[in-house]
Amino acid sequence: MSVLTITKENFESEVLKSKKPVLLDFWATWCGPCRMVSPVVDEIAGEMHDIKVGKINVDEQHELAAKFKVMSIPTLVVMKEGKVVQSSVGAKPKASILDMLNA
């Protein structure tokens, strides 16, 4: 599945009402660690068809970043049934991100 661009306009339909778990990547273009994590998140999106993967640009989506209290990026959040079940700040290897999804 391809990576979705999540905005405040599609957040409810794509994330809160998703029947699949959702991995959210809060990022910004100027963030070095975000650029390290991004290809890993893209890879996971291509490999795992039982989840949704969305990216939220914190510079464009201030409200969503505030809602999740994102203070540092990259921040990865796993949501199931509209609730946060895991979150992590900073660049993580693929195995750690997969562990978040399987928890």
List active site positions. 31, 34
3 state DSSP class of 91: coil
Neighbours of 17 (CB within 10 A): 10
For the beta carbon of residue 59, count every other beta carbon within 10 angstroms. Answer: 12
| Residue pair 27/56 in contact by the 8 Å Cβ criterion | yes
Nearest to 22 by CA among 61, 81, 78: 78
Q: What separation in angstroms does the CA of 41 have from each of 2, 9, 63?
A: 10, 22, 22
